[in-house]
């Protein structure tokens, strides 16, 4: 089962990662000033992850495939790692679709 982890980056912004059941990071967020924005981003991922048309399939300048998950308003809510192949990218998308909707949320900013 997947999980979202909320953490603070070096700039003290809130971010989340979606991890697959094996612990591998399959989606990362942008930075948010407030934790509430980060939580809204997670809810948006959960809602949009089931729709294939929300995944933007891209190729980096170095030729590596990756993807962005977009909300209904076309705003990017999460990005993948760089993959070695298009089939790897498709497997990453399938993993987000499978893991995001029911993933637990772990807040690593709470001591």
What's 71's domain CATH number? 2.30.29.80
Using DSSP's 3-state secondary structure scheme, residue 94 falls into helix
**What is the residue-averaged pLDDT of the chain?**
96
Signed CA dihedral, 34, 46, 20, 28: sign only = negative
Domain range for 72: 3-107
Whether this model's pTM surpasses 0.85: yes
- Whether residue 70 contacts residue 76, with contact meaning beta carbons closer than 8 Å, is answered with yes
Give pLDDT tens digits for 26-68. Answer: 999 999 999 999 999 999 999 999 999 999 999 999 999 999 9
Whether the per-residue pLDDT at 111 is higher than 80: the answer is no
- Domain tally, the chain: 1
Enumerate residues 6+ apart whose C-beta is below 8 A from 2.
18, 19, 20, 21, 26, 95, 98, 99, 100, 102, 103
């Amino acid at each position: 089962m997947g999980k979202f982890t909320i953490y603070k980056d070096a700039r003290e912004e809130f971010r989340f990662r979606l991890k697959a059941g094996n612990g591998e990071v399959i989606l990362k967020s942008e930075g948010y000033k407030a934790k509430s924005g980060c939580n809204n981003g997670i809810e948006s991922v959960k809602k949009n992850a089931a729709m294939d048309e929300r995944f933007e399939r891209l190729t980096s300048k170095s030729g590596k495939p990756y993807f962005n998950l977009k909300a209904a308003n076309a705003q990017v809510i999460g990005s993948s790692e760089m993959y070695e192949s298009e089939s790897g990218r498709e497997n990453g998308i399938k993993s987000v679709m499978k893991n995001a909707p029911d993933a637990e949320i772990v807040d690593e900013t709470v001591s």
